Structures are given as C-alpha cells and as structure tokens.
Chain A
C-alpha cells in the first residue's frame, strides 16, 4: 500500500440500508478527513479527525458517523442511506492539522436508490 486507499470503488445501495466506506492510509499521518463532492459544488467536509481517538464534525455531518480507533483507519458510516447521499466520497489525510497539505484517496462513487 502506498498513500491512501478507499473501498469500495463504487457502490449502488438501496435507501434505508447501512453502509460503511473504508479508508486506510500508510503515511502515519495524524489528521484524516472525509469529503463529499457533488457536481457544481466544491468539496464539502463531512467529518475529520485530528489524531487517533478524536473526531469532529465538518460542514455537512448529518446522516454520517466516523470513528478513529487507530492512526491508519478512518471509516465513514451511513446509518440509513438516503438518495441525497448519492455522491463521490473522498478520504484525505495530512501530517498535521493546520496548513499541512492534504492528500486524497481515489474516492468512492456511491449511488443511493
């Protein structure tokens, strides 16, 4: 593994189902982030974690939850998916908080029907 990996690459999900998007980084970065990207809109921060064991809410956290049990993994869970959660989801990481560059995973394309 080099960098950030995300799984699955894409998924079609029925509304009401529970779904966990996985994100793993091998750079030993302290901070991790989840964004969603929708056509015509900028990336929007869902949740973030400044260090293992801590998480925080971003701009659009409703309907999503995260956990950060260790440095490498930062899963994003949709408890009960709705069609408005159809989007491309990117996980990112940075060495520290503040102005450190964020590095992005390849993304998960999620469709909720």
Chain B
C-alpha cells in the first residue's frame, strides 16, 4: 500500500519569502508519480507540479519546484517568492504506474498562510 505523510498541519510565512512544504511517502513500487495540489478556500483542487519516480531532475513549474530525494522518499514542494495568493491548503499525492490500479493517494495536507 502507498502512504503519504505531511507533518506540517499549518505554516505561516512572510510574503516574498521562500517556503518548503514537507512530504514523505512510503511505497514498495518502483514506478510511481508524485503530485502537489493546491486547494484555496474556494474548494477547487488545482494541480501544481508532477514528478515521476524515474525522472532524474527535479520538476519545476514557475515558482514551484519539487525537491525529489528518492532514497529518502521525500518530495518536498518549494515555493519561491511567496505571494498572498499562495495562502491555501496544499496536498501531496502519489499514484502507481500499474495499469488498472492507479489509485491516487493523498496526504492530510498543510495549511499555508502568507503574512503581508
């Protein structure tokens, strides 16, 4: 079974500072994908970034980057130059590359609050 752990229930960060949201995972699979989603107060789930287990380079998408450390089974999200609009819940998730069994498993989330 796959498991995602997010140990930071809440974080407060000053605007314009960088922030790292922690995510560790547990799986016996060799092939898997790691995702980060943002959920603002409006409730929608917004995809941010993806990292495949075989990708050698860390994924980046604009201000978002994923610090992937496979040996440590961690997939931390780094947001550079935080903005007020970054205040939201952030969920780490993973799935397996096993056709017919690609269930997406989520962590419990981190509530990020950006302080002006």
Chains A and B come from one and the same complex: no
Using a CB–CB distance below 8 Å, which chain A residues touch chain B? none
Using a CB–CB distance below 8 Å, which chain B residues touch chain A? none
